[in-house]
Amino acid sequence: MTPIGSPQVSTFSLPALSLVIGGARSGKSRLAEKLVTAMGKPRLYIATAQPFDDEMRLRIARHRIDRGEDWITVEAPLSLDTSLSSCDPCYAVLVDCATLWLSNHLLAGHDLENACAGLLAALRACPAPVVVVSNETGWGIVPDNALARQFRDAQGRLNQMIAAQADLVIGVMAGLPMVLKGKLGEGVL
């Protein structure tokens, strides 16, 4: 029996930082999981969701079941920078997702500029390859309240900063991946 997170034969590698971005239910998390799995390394899933209600608890449980048992999961709704800095280089890391992480900081009243700067520094310094999942929130209607507009704008800025730092950026729409930046090996998708 293969132990949890044990290496497989790898024929695929990812750059130090990749971003998978798309709308809600676009297939971005599934694609990110596939990319990390294809590396054949032990897999670390850094989760940013917080189970504030029954529906979210069910979503989190469903995600865990869908991923399977061969992922190590770390809960980091706010301390994503700390989790990234303590990663072992033998792992392939999936952060799901930057959107929930940002909303957690916004709702906690934290300084978003400082939080984002800390995240970007941690992504640069992480010794393991990282795939970040994020939502594209700017294609919808303009929100009708100041908090939602603040979040949408901050998310757009964070997405741009991660994309600028990443060597690979993949957009996902209707389950279809589009490489926006960098190159992806043959046969991975």
Which residues are known to be catalytic? Answer: 63
For 121, the enclosing helix (H) or strand (E) is helix 112-125
Taking 3-state DSSP, the helix, strand and coil percentages for the chain, each rounded to the nearest 5, stand at 40, 20, 40
Q: Three-state DSSP class for 18?
A: strand
Report the 10 Å Cβ neighbour count for 83: 20
Short-list 185, 189, 177, CA closest to 28? 177
Give CA angle at 28 (48, 149), nearest 5°. Answer: 65
